[in-house]
Amino acid sequence: MSNGEARPNILFLMTDQQRWDAMGCSGGWVRTPNMDRIASEGMRFSRCVTNSPVCIPARVSMATGWYPHNTGVWQNLPYAMPPETPTWMQVIRDAGYCTSVFGKTHLHEHSGDLRDREHLIRAYGLDVVDEIGGPRASARVKSHMTEMWQRRGLWEAYRDDYSERFSNKPHVVRPSTLPLDAYADVYVGQQAKHYLERLDTDAPWFCWVSFGGPHEPWDTPEPYAGLYDPEQMPPPVPKPGPAESRPTGYLDERLANAPALEPGEAARLRADYAGKVTLIDDQVGEILEVIAARGELDNTIITLTSDHGELNGDYGLIYKETFLNGAVRVPLLVRTPWMPGSSAAGRVCDTPVEWFDLGPTLVELAGAELNHRQFARSLVPVLEDPRRLHRDEAISELRGEVMVMDRRWKLVLNRSGRPYLLFDLHNDPQEMRNLIGAPGIDAVTEPLRLRILERILQSQVYR
């Protein structure tokens, strides 16, 4: 099937908890031939920062183009985005696109039966809906996927496995009780694939494929669980020494409550995590094959990103909720129909980018226009000229704290507005030396602190 419309289709691929370096093209320790193909035919943004290094605030910011200080969603909590909230997905649908979503949105509460709230997802701009909860939520919430698990007699064992993990050792590495064909990431990939195989429309389409992995737990199913040798995994960033005569913040709380990782355990976590990323990459490959079989690959925008990363042992920590690279930097790939074979193909752009900038980018590429107030910026000028500076710096927010990162420095203010983390990203890319308290460092921190305050004032929403 060939799409004769001038407007391109849009494939929006999203993972959950995929750190920026967990691709072959960005870190070299995970095999991701399909993600690498998107990067080689399009552009990779190497300094993409999530708006918040935790699920719900990041996803609400992506949908709205608002920062956590606008939405009031600073951490994971029971929250449902109001149906009247303006989103960029609505704009794409109103431009004549057939819109769909398969997988996790987390734009409303992970409770009860997700199918009872499909009206919310449609209000946000997505007409065809097959939503799942995240890996933890799927032990309790109902969806088309968990109904299938129940029908096949799989759900009870899944629930028992999760209960045992989180009552004993949440970071245990153990394959899922689910067979590969029922695993959540395979379910999401296959549902999207079958939808696109059957789609019969003369209109352009927008398909959001939102995988629940590689989010923990570390339960990658075989044969992917055994793909990687733990001894070949990159070592985690070492845990720093105690804070000395400086303000403290949420990272210090996390460090004080760090899990007791056994020798070699971080490597095992990383090997299992890498297997899950490769599993997802294989699903991406099958979706791309369907689009090619439809004759639409040359007229489809393909993007891939993730809401936040996973520390996997960095600083002796697991999960996310820090402004360290492993949690706050995420993949961002953009491939447009005109990029393969052009001088832009395969370019790596190191300008600072904020995660939610993808929304207005897709709107502009769809030939539409955002008319509501929001603070994300289209990347189209950079796609056309990779030498352009998109932003001077990127900011991210969590639990009342704010981070700013430019090409050289990363500064974090605690909830009292005091600087407590400063890293020189040129000379210390692994963020092993916190420079707060160093002689003369105020000459660096004060302009960055003022820039954070300026950015917050520039992005106020008065309601």
Rounded average pLDDT over 407-411: 97
pLDDT attached to residue 1: 32
Q: Is a pLDDT exceeding 50 seen at residue 299?
A: yes
- Quick check: 97 and 10 in contact, CB under 8 A? yes
Q: Is a pLDDT exceeding 50 seen at residue 4?
A: no
pLDDT attached to residue 209: 98
Rounded average pLDDT over 14-33: 98
Could you tell me how far CA 372 lies from the centroid of its own chain?
A: 24
pLDDT attached to residue 462: 62
pLDDT attached to residue 116: 97
Over residues 343-383, the pLDDT tens digits come to: 999 999 999 999 999 999 999 999 999 999 999 999 999 99
Over residues 52-84, the pLDDT tens digits come to: 999 999 999 999 999 999 999 999 888 999 999
At position 246, the amino acid (one-letter code) is R
Rounded average pLDDT over 10-17: 98
Its pTM surpasses 0.95: yes
Domains of the chain from N-terminus onward:
9-391 (3.40.720.10)
pLDDT attached to residue 244: 76
Q: What percent of the chain has pLDDT over 70?
A: 98
pLDDT attached to residue 460: 84
- Cα–Cα distance measured from residue 258 to residue 315, given in angstroms and rounded to the nearest whole number: 9
Rounded average pLDDT over 12-41: 98
The pLDDT confidence band at residue 315, using thresholds 50, 70 and 90, is very high
pLDDT attached to residue 387: 87
pLDDT attached to residue 302: 98
- Cα–Cα distance measured from residue 434 to residue 220, given in angstroms and rounded to the nearest whole number: 35
pLDDT attached to residue 463: 56
Rounded average pLDDT over 226-250: 92
Rounded average pLDDT over 230-239: 96
pLDDT attached to residue 453: 95
Over residues 265-281, the pLDDT tens digits come to: 999 999 999 999 999 99
Greater pLDDT, 348 or 240: 348
Tokens of 115: 């199918």
Report residue 328: phi and psi, to 5°: -95, -20
**Alpha carbon distances (Å) from 150 to 139, 147, 153, 182, 378:** 11, 5, 5, 11, 43
Over residues 254-265, the pLDDT tens digits come to: 999 999 999 999
- Cα–Cα distance measured from residue 27 to residue 304, given in angstroms and rounded to the nearest whole number: 16
Rounded average pLDDT over 234-247: 88
- Quick check: 16 and 188 in contact, CB under 8 A? no
- Please, how many CA atoms are within 13 Å of residue 388, restricted to the half-sphere of its CB? 13
State the distance between the two ends of the chain, measured CA to CA, in whole angstroms. Answer: 47
Helix axes 184-198, 144-151, angle to 10 degrees: 110
Q: Is a pLDDT exceeding 90 seen at residue 301?
A: yes
Q: What does the mean pLDDT of the chain come to?
A: 95
Identify any residues that bridge with 131 across adjacent strands, giving them in sequence order. Answer: 103
